Amino acid sequence: MNAKPPSRPSSRGPSARPHSSSRSRAPALPPLPAGSLAEAFSVASDGLKAVLDGYALNDGLYGLWQAYPELTPAGRGAVQDLLYGSLRDFGRGTAILEVLLSSPISEKRITALLLVALYRLETRPDTAHTVVDQAVEAAARLAGGNFKGLVNGVLRNALRRWDELLPKLDAQDAALWRHPQWWVDSVRRNWPEQWQAILQANNSHPPMSLRINRRRIDPHAYRSRLTEADIAFTDLGPCAIQLAAPCPVAQLPGYAEGLVSVQDWGAQQAAGLLDLHDGLRVLDACAAPGGKTAAMLELADLHLEALELEGRRASRITEALSRLGLSADVHTVDCRDTQKWWDGTPFDRILADVPCSASGVARRHPDIKWLRRPHDIAHFATIQAEILDALWITLAPGGKMLYLTCSLFPEENGNQVARFATRHKDCVRLPFADGAFEKQLTPCPQHDGFYFALLEKSAR
C-alpha cells in the first residue's frame, strides 16, 4: 500500500482554469486546437503545478480530467506522457532553469510549462522548432499571456547553450540521476553495488505485468488467448506474465470478465509467501486498491477481512473483487484501532502491507521523488511500528504475518522488523525458500522494489 497522498484538489481540478481576473488582463484568444501540442503543454503544466503545490500525481490527474473533459483519449495520453516525463526529469529541468533564469518565476504555471517543454526538447530534439512555437502558444493562454516573451527566450537560450549546459548537469547528482540529493545519498549508502542501476530503473518506464485469475480460466488457456490477440508476452510465473509493450486494459482479452488483473510481478509474490490454504482466517490490513487481496483469494478459499483507512480507496477493493468474482469483508477503518473492527477471533494469517515512502515504485509515481522529504522516512517508520504492534495482538499463536513495503530504505524494512522482533519475544522470523530471513526486490525490468519479512507468533 502506498502512502496516503496529500489532500485532494478542489472539484475544479488541481489548478483551475485561468481566473476571470487573468482573462480580463488579456485579449480574448481562441481555444487551443484540440489535439495540438500546445493544448497538451497547457494541460500538463496545470498537472505539474498541482505537484509543485504538494498534490499527489494521482490526485492531480483526477482533477485534470475533471477540469478538461473535452480532452480526447489521445489528448489525455499526450498530457500523461508529458507529465510523467517531466516529473521523472524534474531534477534535470530545475537545474537547467537555475542556470537560465536570474531569479525564480513568480507564476508556477509558467515554471511548470517550461519544465514540460524542456523535457520535450531533450527527448525530442528533432522537433525543437515546434516545441518552442507550441510552448509560446500555450503561454499566451496562461497567466494573462504576460510570459510569452520569457518562455520564448528561455527555450531558445536553452537550445543555443545546450552543449554548454550538459557538463553542468552531469556534475550535479540531482540533475544527472534525476533524484533529490538526499535520496541519491541514501541509495548510494545502502546499495553500494547497485545504486546506479536502482536510480536508473527508477527513471525508466515500468513494465506491465498481469496476474491470471485461475478461478475463472486455466492459465495456459489465457496465454493462448493473448497469442490469438497478437499480444506478445513472457512468462514470469504460473499465473504471472509480462507484456512486451503496455496496452489499455480494454484490449486485454477477458479483462472485463475478470480473467486477468494488472499487477506488478513483485507485488504478485506476496500472496505466495503467506502459506495459504483453504479455510484460513486471513486479514489484509492495508488493502487498497485490492490487488493483493484478490491474489490471496485466487489462491485459496479464505475467510478474508480487508481494511482500508479511506472510504474512496476501500470502494476500489470492492470493485476489484466484484470484477474477479471474489468476495471479502471490506471495512473502512484505521487498522491500528482494533477496538473498532476486531471481534476477538484471532487470524491465522495477516498481510501487513504498510504505508511507506513508496521509494521502490517511484517509476510508477515519479512525483514521490519530489514530494518526499528526509524526515518523512522516520514518520512512516513510526506508523509502521504502530500498525505492527496493533496487528500482532490479533494474530493467533502459530499464525503468520507477512510484513511488506514497497520501499528501498532500511529504516522501513530490515531495521523495522528487527526492532519489532526485539519488542515481541513471541515473534519468530521465518526463512523463505532460499533460506533468507528477508526478501528485498529492487526495481528492474521485471518488477518494482519490494521488501518482505515473514513473522510467526510462537505457540509457546
Residue 438 belongs to domain with CATH number: 3.40.50.150
Question: Could you tell me where the DSSP H helices lie in 245-371?
Answer: 265-272, 291-299, 311-324, 338-341, 368-371
Spatial separation of the C-alpha atoms in residues 86 and 44, rounded to whole Å: 9
- Whether 282 is in a domain gets the answer yes
- Can you give the CATH number for the domain in which 218 is found? 3.30.70.1170
- Full strand arrangement of the beta sheet holding 233-237: 233-237, 240-243, 209-212, 260-262
Domain containing 25: what range? 20-176
Do 396 and 279 reside in the same domain of the chain?
A: yes
Do 251 and 341 reside in the same domain of the chain?
A: no
Cell numbers for 197, please give them: 542501476
Contact between residue 165 and residue 96 where contact means Cβ atoms under 8 Å apart = yes
Do 38 and 157 reside in the same domain of the chain?
A: yes
Q: What are φ and ψ of residue 441, in 5° steps?
A: -100, 135
The number of domains in the chain is 3
- Look at residues 127, 134, 104 and name the one whose alpha carbon lies nearest to residue 36: 134
Percent of the chain with pLDDT over 70: 93
pLDDT of res. 16: 34
pLDDT of res. 28: 56
Q: What is the mean pLDDT of residues 20-36?
A: 60
pLDDT of res. 143: 84
Contact between residue 97 and residue 150 where contact means Cβ atoms under 8 Å apart = no
- Whether 186 is in a domain gets the answer no
Compute the half-sphere exposure of residue 236: CA atoms within 13 Å on the CB side of its CA: 23
Do 232 and 295 reside in the same domain of the chain?
A: no
- Whether 102 is in a domain gets the answer yes
pTM (two decimals): 0.90
pLDDT band (50, 70, 90) for residue 235: very high
Q: Is the pLDDT of residue 454 over 70?
A: yes
Do 52 and 107 reside in the same domain of the chain?
A: yes
- Whether 12 is in a domain gets the answer no
Spatial separation of the C-alpha atoms in residues 406 and 409, rounded to whole Å: 9
pLDDT of res. 18: 32
Q: What is the mean pLDDT of residues 265-284?
A: 97
- Whether 195 is in a domain gets the answer no
Do 243 and 293 reside in the same domain of the chain?
A: no
- Whether 312 is in a domain gets the answer yes
pLDDT, tens digit, for every residue of 130-147?
999 999 999 998 888 899
Spatial separation of the C-alpha atoms in residues 367 and 381, rounded to whole Å: 20
Residue written as cell 515554471?
111
pLDDT of res. 60: 84
- Whether 97 is in a domain gets the answer yes
Give me the DSSP letters along 203-222.
TSPPP-EEEE-TTTS-HHHH
Spatial separation of the C-alpha atoms in residues 345 and 329, rounded to whole Å: 14
The Cα diameter of the chain in Å comes to 79
Question: Is 406 a catalytic site residue?
Answer: yes
pLDDT of res. 195: 97
Do 307 and 327 reside in the same domain of the chain?
A: yes
Specify the DSSP class assigned to residue 71.
-
Do 137 and 247 reside in the same domain of the chain?
A: no
Do 43 and 145 reside in the same domain of the chain?
A: yes
Last residue of a domain, one of 263, 298, 330: 263
pLDDT of res. 23: 35
- Whether 219 is in a domain gets the answer yes
Do 255 and 278 reside in the same domain of the chain?
A: no
Q: Which of 239, 335, 356, 406 is catalytic?
A: 406
Do 275 and 257 reside in the same domain of the chain?
A: no
Please, what is the average pLDDT of the chain?
Answer: 92
Do 281 and 218 reside in the same domain of the chain?
A: no
pLDDT band (50, 70, 90) for residue 5: very low
Spatial separation of the C-alpha atoms in residues 63 and 8, rounded to whole Å: 8
H helix or E strand, kind and range, residue 235: strand 233-237
- Can you give the CATH number for the domain in which 34 is found? 1.10.940.10
Bridge partners of 306, per DSSP, are 284, 330
Q: Is the pLDDT of residue 13 over 50?
A: no
pLDDT of res. 380: 98
